[in-house]
Structure 1
Amino acid sequence: MAVSIEEAVQVVPSPRQLAWQEMEFYAFIHFGMNTFTGRQWGLGDEDPQLFHPTAYDAAQWVESCRSAGMTGVILTCKHHDGFCLWPSEYTDHSVKYSSWQDGQGDVVRDVAEACREQGLKFGVYLSPWDRHEPSYGDSPVYNAYFQNQLRELLTQYGEIFCVWFDGACGEGPNGKMQVYDWEASYRIIRELQPNAVINICGPDVRWCGNEAGHTRESEWSVVPAERRNIEEIQGESQQEDDGAFSQKINADTADLGSRSVLAEANRMIWYPAEVDVSIRPEWFYDPGDDDKVKTVDELIELYERTVGGNSALLLNIPPDPRGLIHETDARHLRELGQWLRATYGQDLAQGADVWASHTRDSEVHAGNVTDGQSDTYWCPPEGIEQAELVIDLGKEMLFDRIVLKEFIQLGQRIERFQLTYKQDDVWVSLYGGTVVGYKKICSFQQTKARYIQLRVTESRIHPTLSSFGVYCSGQDK
């Protein structure tokens, strides 16, 4: 039992995983019956008439997300209470049975259309647990019900980039625990939306392991195959809305992909991480949280640690009972987007000269890391696991961010690296890091230099690098 280094490097992302990784930062929208009852987990016995937003504007939601620099939106089409934000044919617990828009409303349609109009991708969350549906707990009957609703979402609302499943599971009215048929659901998604990734309870994207925004120092995308079904195990799923689950951090899973993990594994898979966290303490809107919205500085730190730590960031934005993103949330999102554009809008190393200690051939030369192209890369010859690059900015410049990207189409290879800058004739330490993966944001005190050196000190085999970007934060250029 062991996976060799060579075998681990051959594990690469699928085209759908690669397209998802490039999205980087997108929104969760928790909106539904809980928005109007003040609960976070509904019971399923709510009167549909309670659902009645007074100033509903799906375009405002999407605009708030777009202004933050997000690339997509995932809507909670049905949460655990079973209330559907679309007029499902299979239940009486939906917008169709509310007085809102005379029973003709469809939140899923509106958000999907707003995303298309504003250039964002659209995804769906469908709770496997349904506390309203009487057949829940009668596993074959409920699975058919769930699959029917899944087909509705996948056939009526255009292109879907993601189907997001959690593992929440409880007892049905018959006192029996529901046993989900995940594989049947996956087959339906692959049939109807072949480009969609299936997240968390699914084969494409894994949960980071907590809802607190905690990240690992080394986030490997290549992990043991047995991690794929962890969220499907009922005993590991969330059973109660007690507030503790969202803050739970499991220290036992700090290392998912190092050489010591390879030595104990049977098989490795490409299973990258997504960090899901809310802009507020709760997932659904609570007026008591209006003064607890994450600050712009907190959002910046979260973004750089997650997106810049080989993960994607799924940030929850809960609309209020009016059907609007609250003014505070919208303002912080807008200011986050302004900061991100000001910081990462100009790569100071674009087109810069690059020297490499080793270069394999003309197709993978060092200049590829500053050419602004995602489909080119630098790579030293086989057998060279330690290598150096030196970036010449042409003149001294101020910077405080360096962004590294591996060419993950050839696997995840870099295990440790060092960044230095040249001061007079001395190389001064700037930053030390471990894995790179799809993207690594290295932040440090503002520095002025012309020459920057990257030393790859440990790599599984000869490393690849697709991009070396240099940036200066905010307005301090």
Structure 2
Amino acid sequence: MSYIGIEEDIRLIKAVPSERQLTYEKMEFFCFIHFTVNTFTGSEWGDGKEDVSIFNPTELDARLWVKTAKDAGMKGLILTCKHHDGFCLWPSKYTEHSVKNSPYKNGKGDIVREVSEACKEFGLKFGIYLSPWDRNNSSYGKGKEYDDYYVNQLTELLTEYGELYTIWLDGACGEGANGKIQKYDWNRYYKVMRELQPNAVISISGPDVRWCGNEAGEVRESEWSVVAKDMTDPSITAELSQHEDNEEFRDRPLDETQSDLGSRERLKNEKELVWYPAETDVSIRPGWFYHEEEDNKVRSFENLKDIYLKSVGGNTALLLNIPPMKNGKIHEKDMAILKRLGEFINDTFKNNLLKNALIKTVPEHDCRGNSPDMMRTDDYNTYFMNKEGDNKLLIEIKFDECKKLNYLVLKEAITFSQRVEKFNVYFNDESGKKIKIFEGTTIGYKRIIDLKGTKTDNLTIEIEDSRVAPVMSFVGVY
């Protein structure tokens, strides 16, 4: 049955993810490693005047960093190769403010290489962060001269450390020693990135992945991946992402004026739309770099579990920061909590109860004649697609006996864009009474619904509204 507004919805669903974006979204959960001279000075933002002799992490083991990330259930790791202080964790040819002039391994160390090789060993993908603001370099604020310097260092990182899955950029920008502010040549930077690492997403101050809007682990109730193209403008994304280590943004709730980025109403007058998924970035500690005085302020397992369920389960990826100590190790408290988080993720979503349940839908078959069994497999090659104009879908699940249900996982086939606008989850009690468990809006890449241990032998997902027609790729009950 057709509905009013289908023509406009057809326009909205033309925005779909690129291959690099699709690969990124499937990773779901990864970590940030913030480590530089700031770790030794106790600051969050260095000024570029630090003596490189202070940098000597005598017990640094990159394999331990990567193993900690893997134990937590993460699929990738991003290293702060250079923060705003300008100190490089690799022996860059273009500056003396580098690990090559530090006591670490008598100046022979290359932490970027150590981490990239450890990632290969443990099967994690590797990403880099290179601050656009270098407070140590005298050419900052001089236009092309500084851009040349930045591109040279960028080229080193993009050509000498294997394949990268992301190049993470913030918009950090301030007044240099010469009293000038650098106007970054973003398009030039992007061109180099695309040429040298075509499979890597350019995140935050970039065209592939956007910041969720806060550092508190908060996620919008309705998180859309289809947004207006002007949101990818580097001048806009850079301004929004000047948040890292900024007290104004730490634990700041979502700005209500930005709570809606992709509704029909929001996009009705936008001529160009793009696929621009969100990333939730948050630190396991109050700061992004390690500070001994924060050892009793590490996020709890329950808090991290909640952030994981709401971010990865709310159509965003989760980037969790883990800051190593001065000796180069990760604090045992952080490691223990992360290991517990990984065990929770693995144990909770290991056994999909839908595999042995009866599943029926209304309509009974999709537009190609396929049965709802297509939704048992978590694969974009299998999906259940309503015919165009039929924007509602009822999914009924019947178990062979009463089960205790903890979580429901729903995934759209985002290769066909993001479509679901409104859905409900409910079950029928023994008397046949319909009891609503959850009322939601968007699904997108993934939605995790807390079923709160409901005991029942049935479950129903009712998609009430979607753009053109829903295309569901996966349903999981745990």
* 1:421 has 2:427 as partner: yes
Could you say which residue in structure 1 is the equivalent of 2:260? 255
The one-character-per-residue Cα deviations of 1:403-434 (angstroms, maximum 9, x if unpaired) are: 00000000110001011112222332111111
Is 1:321 aligned to residue 335 of structure 2?
no
For these two proteins, the number of residue pairs brought into alignment is 469
Which stretch of the first structure deviates more once superposed, 300-309 or 169-178? 169-178
The 3-state SS of whatever aligns with 1:415 is strand
> What is the one-letter code of the residue matched to 2:300?
T
| Structure 1 position 385, deviation (Å) | 0.9
Instruction: State percent identity of aligned pairs.
Output: 47
Change (3 A) 1:242 1:75: closer
Tell me which residue corresponds to 2:8: 4
Q: Is the contact between residue 208 and residue 277 of structure 2 (CA under 8 Å) also seen in structure 1?
A: yes
Q: 1:177 to 1:213 in 2, by over 3 A?
A: same
Q: Report the counterpart of residue 383 of structure 1 in structure 2.
A: 389
Tell me the equivalent position of 2:354. Answer: 349
Given residue 308 of structure 1, which amino acid in structure 2 is its aligned partner? Answer: G
CA distance, structure 2, for counterparts of residue 240 and residue 347 of structure 1: 38
Matches of 1:234 and 1:469 in 2, distance apart? 37
| Structure 2 residue corresponding to 1:116, chosen from 115, 120, 123 | 120
For residue 442 of structure 2, give the secondary structure of its aligned residue in structure 1: coil
| Deviation of 1:313 (Å) | 0.2
- 2:218 touches 2:307 (CA, 8 Å); kept in 1? no
Q: Secondary structure at the match of 2:144?
A: helix
Q: Once the 2 structures are TM-superposed, how far is the Cα of residue 395 of structure 1 from its aligned partner?
A: 2.4
Aligned match of 2:455: 448
Q: 1:380 to 1:238 in 2, by over 3 A?
A: closer
**Structure-2 residue corresponding to 1:474:** none
Contact 2:90 2:98 in 1 (8 A): yes
Cα shift at 1:191: 0.8
Deviation by residue 1:26-59 (Cα, 9 ceiling, x = unmatched): 0000001101111100000111111001211111
Aligned partners of 1:412 and 1:437 also within 8 Å: yes
Amino acid at match of 1:80: H
Task: Map 1:193-342 onto structure 2 (within 5 A).
Answer: 193-229=197-233, 232=236, 236=240, 238=242, 242-248=246-252, 249-342=254-347
User: After the TM superposition, which of the residue ranges 71-80 and 389-398 deviates more from structure 2?
Assistant: 389-398
Residue of structure 1 aligned with 2:464, choices 433, 457, 465: 457
Q: Could you tell me how far apart the structure 2 residues matched to 1:237 and 1:222 are?
A: 19
Checking the alignment, whether the CA contact within 8 Å between 1:353 and 1:367 is kept in structure 2 is: no
SS in 2 for 1:458: strand
Per-residue CA deviations over 1:83-106 (Å, capped at 9, x if unaligned) read: 000000000000001121010001
Equivalent residues in 2 for 1:125-164 (5 A)?
Answer: 125-164=129-168
Q: 1:239 to 1:352 in 2, by over 3 A?
A: closer
Letter in 2 for 1:388: L
- Contact 2:171 2:239 (C-alpha < 8 Å) held by counterparts: no
Structure 1 residues 185-219: Cα deviation after superposition (integer angstroms, max 9, x where no partner)? 11111111110000011110001111121210000
1:64 aligns with 2:68: yes
Residue pair 2:66, 2:118 contacting (<8 A) in 1 also = yes
Shift of 1:398: 1.0
Alignment of 1:40-79 (within 5 A): 40-79=44-83
Residue 365 of structure 1 corresponds to which residue in structure 2? 371
- State the match for 2:27 in structure 1: 23
SS of alignment partner, residue 36 of structure 2: coil
Question: Match of 1:136, SS?
Answer: coil
Deviations 1:121-164 (A, max 9, x none): 00000000000000000010000000000000011111100000
Preserved CA contact (<8 Å) 2:205 2:238? no
Return the letter of the residue paired with 2:355.
Answer: Q
Q: Distance in 1 between matches of 2:178 and 2:93?
A: 24
Which shifted more, 225-234 or 94-103?
225-234
Q: Give distance in 2, aligned partners of 1:433 and 1:341.
A: 25
Name the SS of the counterpart of 1:246 in structure 2.
coil
Amino acid at match of 2:427: Y
C-alpha distance in 2, partners of 1:25/1:292? Answer: 22
- Distance in structure 2 (CA, Å) of the matches to 1:364 and 1:189: 42
- Report the Cα offset of residue 267 of structure 1: 1.6
SS at match of 1:22: helix
- Residues 240 and 429 from structure 1, CA distance in 2 versus in 1: closer, same or farther, beyond 3 angstroms? closer
Paired residue secondary structure (1:288): helix
5+ residue gaps, structure 1, are: 472-477
Q: Which secondary structure state, in structure 2, belongs to the residue aligned with residue 117 of structure 1? A: helix
The one-letter amino acid of 2:459's match is I
TM-score of the aligned structures, taking structure 1 as reference length: 0.95
Deviates more, 1:325-334 or 1:255-264: 255-264
CA distance, structure 2, for counterparts of residue 235 and residue 453 of structure 1: 43
Matched to 2:308, the amino acid is: Y
How many Å separate the matches in 2 of 1:233 and 1:437? 22
Match of 1:475 in 2: none
Shift in Å, 1:303: 0.1
